[in-house]
Amino acid sequence: MSDHDEVRAVRELRAAVERLPREVRPARDLWPEIAGRLDERPRDQSAAGWWRLAAAVVLMAGGLFAATNLAPEARSPLLPVAAVAEAGSAMAAAHLRQRDGVLHAHNDLIAVAAQRRGRLDAVGAAALVAGLADLERATAEIEAALADSPRDRRLRLALAAAYRREAGWTSRLARV
């Protein structure tokens, strides 16, 4: 190959490289597979600092309410929080402890509601428990998604909203 040919080949190669797209869009949606793999690896422990704080605030509010309003004998078994418990990481364990506090407050409120009336019927009591489980499930889903995408601002906002929602419903249920 002469020098002239080599220069021409290099120019053509460079031109070809410049014609390549800056981004390559996948032929199909790869997110489900990525999300599946993310689920398999340990959760990012560093990303959860601020919402641990949010959980702690909710916990403190719940604990304060429980301490000032609830009788000790009102305690009842915890609701299951399968999504959080299954995560298994150190972060999930720490978070689970915080969530335990919130759940204690929730369950105490159910017991208090029953005590106050002494007449809460089975349908209403079951609806309360199921409603709280739904709230827990929704929050756990957002927590799991945020653990996978810790920089997602919308998820952080959604989780904060979920904690507010739980706190709001907890206080509503206290009025029952």
Partner 1 sequence: MRKTTLWTLAILFAAVAARAEQSVNATRSVAADATISIENVVGSLTIIGSDETELRVTGTMGDDVEELEISGDADELSIEVVIPDDDNWQGKRKVGADLEIRVPRGVSLEVESVSASIDISGVSGAIEAGSVSGAVTVAGGSSDVEVESVSGAVSVTGGSGSIVAESVSGAVVLEGVAGDIEATTVSGTIKVDAGAVDDVELESVAGSIYFKGRLTDGTLDIESHSGNVEVLLPADLGAEFELESFSGRIENAFGPAARRSDRYEPGVSVEFSTGSGSADVSIETFSGNIVLKKY
120 makes contact with partner 1 (CB under 8 A): yes
**121 touches partner 1 by CB under 8 A:** yes
Contact between 172 and partner 1 by CB under 8 A: the answer reads yes
Neighbours of 160 (CB within 10 A): 14
From candidates 6, 12, 86, 134, binder to partner 1 by CB under 8 A: 134
CB atoms within 10 A of CB 170: 22
- Core vs surface per residue 53-78: b (16+ CB within 10 A) or e: ebbeebbebbbebbeeebeeebeeee
Residue 109 burial (10 A CB sphere; 0-12, 13-18, 19+) = buried
Q: Is 96 in the site for partner 1 (CB under 8 A)?
A: no
Using the rule CB under 8 A, give the single segment among 8-16, 53-61, 94-102, 156-164 that binds partner 1.
156-164
Among the candidate windows 47-55, 67-75, 91-99, 120-128, which touches partner 1 by CB under 8 A?
Answer: 120-128
Check residue 44 for interaction with partner 1 (CB under 8 A).
no
The sign one gets for the Cα dihedral 159, 164, 170, 172 is: negative
Minimum CB separation of residue 13 from partner 1 in Å reads 28
Residue 39 in the binding site for partner 1 (CB under 8 A): no
Does residue 49 touch partner 1 according to CB under 8 A? Answer: no
Rounded CA-CA distance 143/145 in Å is 5
Told to check if 128 binds partner 1 by CB under 8 A, we report yes
Residues making contact with partner 1 (CB under 8 A):
23, 31, 35, 117-121, 123-124, 126-128, 130-131, 134-135, 137-138, 141-142, 145, 149, 152, 154-155, 158, 161-162, 165, 169, 172-173, 176
